[in-house]
Amino acid sequence: MPYVITEKCLGERYASCVAVCPVDCIHSGEYKGEVYMVVDPETCIDCGQCLPECPINAIVASTDEAPDYAKINAELTPSFKQNPKAEERPKSDPPRKPTNKLVQ
């Protein structure tokens, strides 16, 4: 079951997950007028390397944990795949949204 990037990433895009992905299945783009990342469910090999990389816990390990965002990830993947890789943002950079907190 592929990993899923949730709404916590919307407007944040740390992109540290991209650097560790062995199959290049994480793509960046714009959703609802904000920066966002998605996991390509067709390419994801469920290795788990991305999960601990996200400093705000925006990634979940199963489509069952975020079914709505699993659908969004799948729908956005074709258009996001065409975009250049996102530049990594420092993990120590405070979240832009007050509802997000850095994981210690």
pLDDT digits (tens, 9 = 90+) for 23-44: 999 999 999 999 999 999 999 9
Domain that holds residue 61: 4-80
Q: How many C-beta atoms lie closer than 10 Å to residue 99's C-beta?
A: 8
Structural domains of the chain, count:
1
> Does the pLDDT at position 104 exceed 80?
no
Residue 97 lies in a domain: no
What is the pLDDT averaged over residues 5-30? Answer: 96
- How sure is the predictor about 68, in pLDDT bands with cuts at 50, 70 and 90? very high
> Does the pLDDT at position 1 exceed 90?
no
- How sure is the predictor about 89, in pLDDT bands with cuts at 50, 70 and 90? very high
Residue 14, domain CATH: 3.30.70.20
Residue 87 lies in a domain: no
Residue 71 lies in a domain: yes
Contact present, 61 and 48 (Cβ < 8 Å): yes
Q: What is the pTM of this model?
A: 0.94
What is the pLDDT averaged over residues 82-94? Answer: 93
Residue 30 lies in a domain: yes
What is the pLDDT averaged over residues 79-84? Answer: 96
Residue 94 lies in a domain: no
Residue 92 lies in a domain: no
Residue 88 lies in a domain: no
> Comparing C-alpha atoms, which of 96, 77, 98, 88 is closest to residue 12?
96
